[in-house]
Amino acid sequence: MKKVLFVGVGFLALALVGCASTHGTSPKGLELPIEKAALKFAADVKDGGYKIVTTDELKYWLDLGKKVTIVSALPLMEDKELGTLPGAVNGAMPKTEKELTQADRDNLLKVVGSDREKTMVVYCGFVACRRSHIGAKILVENGFQNVYRYPGGITAWQEKGYPLTK
């Protein structure tokens, strides 16, 4: 019994030493900015009332032919320069809610149409970009039932090597 306990404690010690030598989730070991961004993201999701979808999940939906309205919240010029996710419509949003105008809201609601049951996916450039949060939140506030924010945005889509529409 003592031998089993000794071996178990030995494995635990090795595991703890292994964890102590890692750099966390940041390549440079800077966890505080990542923690701050993660908490902001979690607060945005709670405040926005929408769901989230990952890069692989969204690609799977598209491969299945799921009926999804994909909205790029990036400025139209960026969509033209970078391309968009397949089939995306442009519903450009400002960087902050303070900059949001009624014209921004009206344009978003116009481009997505009136089907409040259809799945909506809003994206922008990257996780910390808040344009997708603003757009998704507006859709929820206007009665859309199946709203998703795609936080990885065009950057994550490109990192996976998935196709863009130009």
Average pLDDT over every residue of 143-150: 98
Residue 7 is assigned to a structural domain of this protein:
no
Question: 121 has which bridge partners?
Answer: 70, 148
Inside any domain, residue 119: yes
Whether the pLDDT of residue 13 is over 90: the answer is: no
In a domain, 76, yes or no: yes
Residue 152 domain-assigned (yes or no): yes
Domain around 150:
49-159
d(CA 88, CA 121): 9
Is residue 11's pLDDT more than 70?
no
> What is the average pLDDT value for the chain, to the nearest integer?
87
Q: Assess contact for 144 and 112: CB atoms under 8 A.
A: yes
* Residue among 38, 42, 39, 87 at smallest CA distance from 67: 87
Interhelix angle 102-112/131-141, nearest 10 degrees: 70
The pLDDT, as a whole number, for residue 80 is 94
Domain contains 140: yes
The more confident residue out of 11 and 77 is 77
- Nearest Cα to Cα of residue 131 among 153, 162, 164, 155: 153
pTM here is 0.82
Q: Is residue 75 part of a domain?
A: yes
Is residue 53 very low, low, confident or very high in pLDDT (cuts 50, 70, 90)?
very high
Where are the alpha helices (H) located in the chain, listed in sequence order?
Answer: 2-20, 31-48, 55-64, 76-82, 102-112, 131-141, 153-159
Task: Give the mean model confidence (pLDDT) for residues 37-59.
Answer: 95
- The domain tally of the chain equals 1
Q: Which residue has the higher pLDDT, 131 or 7?
A: 131
- Summarize pLDDT for 76-127 with one digit per residue, the tens: 999 999 999 999 999 999 999 999 999 999 999 999 999 999 999 999 999 9
For residue 81, the domain's CATH number is: 3.40.250.10
Residue 50: both structure tokens together:
């929408």
Quick count: other Cβ atoms within 10 Å of Cβ 57?
13
